[in-house]
Amino acid sequence: MFYGEYQHTVDGKGRLTIPARLRETLRENFIDKFYITRGLDRCLFVFTPNDWKSLVAKFRDQPLTRAKAREFMRIFFAGASEVECDKQGRIMIPQNLIKWAGIQKDVVVVGLVNRLEIWDEATWRRFESEKGSVYEEIAETLIDAGF
């Protein structure tokens, strides 16, 4: 289970050190590789192998005749890469994903239960500023919908 917000940097080679608290969780669960791809809202999604398999299974069941499903899958899976933690606890973010997410150097890693999100810090702060003011409204909508 992932949670929290962590500020980090991506070095010139595209390496990101996984925050220490998250590395502990990963180590406890014997996880040393991930799947990283384009997320939503211009962030990157990072999944563990088990969660990636579950996600793939859901998409596998989508009929080929659904245009929106095909379009989403093309973008989502074409950008996906398998990455492994090195001995220093770093992962290499592919350059195409760095470019897509607009990552400069400073990033925010966000734990969201079954995945991590990697945001360019400026993009995350903008999102936080815009959506933080409607947090209660969002919560009411989710709770009213049976969340």
> Could you read off the pLDDT of 62-71 as tens digits, one per residue?
888 999 999 9
Whole-angstrom CA distances from 50 to 30, 34, 55, 122 are 12, 9, 9, 31
pLDDT tens profile 97-140:
999 999 999 999 999 999 999 999 999 999 999 887 888 888 88
* C-alpha span between 95 and 26 (Å, rounded): 24
User: Which CATH fold would you assign to the domain 2-144?
Assistant: Chemotaxis protein chec (3.40.1550)
Express each pLDDT in 28-58 by its tens digit.
887 889 999 999 999 999 999 999 999 999 9
Contact 97, 80 (CB under 8 A): no
Which residues of the chain form beta strands (DSSP E)?
2-9, 15-17, 33-38, 44-47, 81-84, 90-92, 106-113, 115-120
Please give the model's pTM, rounded to 2 decimal places: 0.90
Residues in the chain: 147
Sign of the four-CA dihedral 22, 8, 125, 73: negative
Distance between alpha carbon 145 and the CA centroid of its chain, in Å?
25
Domain boundaries, the chain: 2-144
Distance CA 95, CA 8 (A): 17
Q: What is the mean pLDDT of residues 68-79?
A: 93
Query: 11 pLDDT band (50/70/90 cuts)?
Result: very high
Identify which of 34, 3, 14, 23 has the alpha carbon closest to the alpha carbon of residue 89.
23
